[in-house]
Amino acid sequence: MNSLSTILALADMTVDPQRTATVVVDVQNDFCEGGSLAVSGGADVARAITRAFDSPRTFGKIVTTQDWHIDPGSHFSSTPDFKDSWPVHCVAGTTGAQLHPNLTLPRVDARFHKGEYEAAYSGFEGRLDEPGLRLDDRPRLAQWLLAEGIDTVLVCGLALDYCVRATALDARRLGFETVVLGSLTAAISAEGAALTREELADQGVRVL
């Protein structure tokens, strides 16, 4: 698998590390093979992201997002429709909510938990994992990025047609230059992946 520097070079794209953040979306045990809501290829994506950062060159900040459900209401269902309701997954503090062991990043500058009491597909709904602060006092992802001087966001992770999609669309809506690293994602369905790529392009998100 190509390093991140190679992926960007092949796309004829350069980034300013001081103003760039890579958002690694929901690469969690429950979303990989063997988990309660597995995406086919999830473990390979975790491994590919690890290899992508196996370069001495860094690309600014690295942040992760995690579903961290406590009581997300109708998001959980014993008879899920796999559109608005889903099997129980990524319950806060459980093994299923942890990052997959294949994901080994050179560092993580900030971790964001989302969906404690709601569905929360987008990483921008997440709040900084800062145990010393009340939930409502923890900054959301956009606040943190702006405070760090970030204007370009690279997005990868799981799943392309759900949480990666939502995160990228929110990033663009909030004014960030947004790039989805397509080779470092996996989708729930091929049809969903195709529709997502079209939608992202229509909204000004570049998909490599």
Residue 9 within a domain: yes
> Catalytic residue at 26?
yes
The pLDDT of residue 187 is above 80: yes
> Catalytic residue at 32?
no
Q: How far is the first Cα of the chain from the last one, in angstroms, to the nearest whole number? A: 14
- How far apart CA 95 and CA 45 sit, in angstroms, is 19
pLDDT at 56: 57
Looking at residue 98, what DSSP letter applies?
A: S
Range of the domain at 38: 4-203
Catalytic annotation, pick one of 30, 114, 161, 170: 114
Six token digits for residue 121: 């597909």
Reduced to 3 states (helix: H, G, I; strand: E, B; else coil), residue 190 is: helix
Residue 208 within a domain: no
The pLDDT of residue 19 is above 90: yes
The pLDDT of residue 1 is above 80: no
Confidence of residue 12 (pLDDT cuts 50, 70, 90): confident
Q: How many CB atoms lie within 10 A of CB 197?
A: 18
In the numeric block, the tokens 């990483």 are attached to 123
Q: How many CB atoms lie within 10 A of CB 95?
A: 10
Catalytic annotation, pick one of 30, 161, 163, 170: 163
**What is the overall mean pLDDT for the chain?**
94
Rounded to 10 degrees, the C-alpha dihedral 160/163/165/170 comes to -160
Residue 189 within a domain: yes
Confidence of residue 57 (pLDDT cuts 50, 70, 90): low
| Total of domains in the chain | 1
* Mean pLDDT of all residues in 55-74: 88
* Mean pLDDT of all residues in 5-29: 90
**H helices present in the chain, as ranges:** 4-10, 42-52, 141-147, 165-173, 190-202
Catalytic annotation, pick one of 26, 30, 161, 170: 26
pLDDT at 58: 64
* Mean pLDDT of all residues in 27-55: 95
pLDDT at 96: 98
Share of the chain above pLDDT 70, in %: 98
Residue 173 within a domain: yes
How far is C-alpha 18 from the geometric centre of its chain's CA atoms? 20
Six token digits for residue 155: 């997005």
CB-count burial class (<10 Å; 0-12, 13-18, 19+) for 84: exposed
Residue 41 within a domain: yes
**CATH for 31:** 3.40.50.850
> Catalytic residue at 90?
no
pLDDT in tens, 90-148: 999 999 999 999 999 999 999 999 999 999 999 999 999 998 888 889 999 999 999 99
Higher-pLDDT residue of 25, 3: 25
